[in-house]
Amino acid sequence: MEVHEGQSSTGEDLISKLSDQLLSHIVSSLHIDEAVRTSVLSKRWKSVWRYAPKLEFNEKLMIKPLSRLLESRSENTSHQERILNSYVDNGLINGQGILIYVLLYRHHGNVDSCRFVHFSESMTILKQVQNWIDFLVHHENGIQDLYLECEVPRSEYGNMAYIYKNMKLNFPPMLFASLQTLELSNYVIEEISPFQGCQKLRTLKLRKVFITDEILNGILSNCEFLENFSIAWCGHYLPSLIIRNPILKFLELQQLSVNKIHVFADALVVLVLDTICCRAKNIVIDTASLRVFRCYYNTDRISAHSFGGDIHVLKTQEIFESCAGPVGDRGVTYGINSSEEGLLPNHISKFWEARDQQGDYITPKLRSVYMKGFKGKEQELEFVKYLITKATKLEMLKIIFGNYGRTREGVIATMNLLSLPRASVALAIVLKPGPNYV
């Protein structure tokens, strides 16, 4: 007899015998569209989705079959739902909006985490997005992790008039005050007030936001207990980015055009800089605990934001020169683009050796180094040779070749590095070809 997954040898349904708490956690991994559908499996599953601790709504997936499913179980429609139905009848709320309201009202358990992917009109029609958040903040024990993403119509890409009219984050003061994690994607942020009182916020991620340096610095000053901060792509050139946070542990800056970057974070452990346009003389990174440093450069991400037409992408050496304090004592991991457009400067091994002689002692603390876009050029080989022969605690050296610009001679010279005497007996060297390597 064939035994299907989730069944015993006798054909008994073992999954349905799991506890309600465990089943609700399983259902919480599904999009709400699929989670609600589990209610038709059996009486055992009818209300499981109502106690899922994690919800995910995507207005693009709020389809008619789900609407019919909810209508078939609407014998106990609440007063609030009847009011919402009247809004739909009068064209005040779209069909997806009413579904989200109904599902939120019918959910009974605590909601720890929720993600909304919504259309831009949901920001303006009866302030639907604001009301969804307000409901979750005041529901049961209150939501802890919130992820918001505004869906931009393809026809409106690049239409700044549309973006500033329909994607503006006009939320009331202290709306985010109870959150521990907040991620925002595709919004215009012109007010600090929603971030007031964010004493509990530990993680903040901003993706594709239109925000000025004044607002951004104001938000960071309100989130004084932030431990993880990430910002990727900003619609404005930023005159300054000032981060003063003694407990910040993770910082990621990606695809930004900034005149001045000042970071003062004693507890910073992980620093990621990905395609940052900034003058080297205007960057200061002061940290004494750095363990992981990644510096990348992606030519596809270079935008028109520049300084009088002159785009300057930070180089690895410039970052090291801007770090006022030595790295942490527990070891450090470095990830860098090897030679993409000169990101790895000439004579970096001499520069690194000079830093060690000055008392920074970077090399003895290295645990792992990842180099991407490797081409086998002279300065790259010199740097790798220095690491192999000088880094006494290095455990992993991973070299990923680039798809373009490498030569056969460079590849052979890189292979010869494997025969060098290693300062660390635990060192593993991994050479990985690029995707198009033959």
Distance of alpha carbon 335 from its chain centroid, rounded?
A: 17
User: Which of 85-89, 237-241, 331-335, 425-429 has the least mean pLDDT?
Assistant: 85-89
As a whole number of angstroms, the distance between CA 268 and CA 284 comes to: 14
As a whole number of angstroms, the distance between CA 117 and CA 132 comes to: 12
pLDDT tens-place string over residues 300-324: 555 544 434 456 777 666 666 655 4
Is this model's pTM higher than 0.75 or not?
Answer: yes
Pairing of strands 396-401, 428-432: parallel
pLDDT bucket at 348, cuts 50 / 70 / 90: low
User: 274 in helix, strand or coil?
Assistant: strand
The conformational region for residue 242 under phi > 0 = left, psi -120 to 50 = alpha, else beta, is beta
Mean pLDDT (the chain) is 78
User: 428 in helix, strand or coil?
Assistant: strand
**Domains of the chain: which residue ranges?**
17-327, 328-438
Residue labelled with tokens 């007030």:
193
Tokens of 175: 């709306």
Q: Are 156 and 121 in contact (CB under 8 A)?
A: no
pLDDT tens-place string over residues 16-65: 777 778 888 888 888 887 888 887 777 778 888 888 899 999 988 775 54
Q: Is the pLDDT at 281 greater than 90, yes or no?
A: no
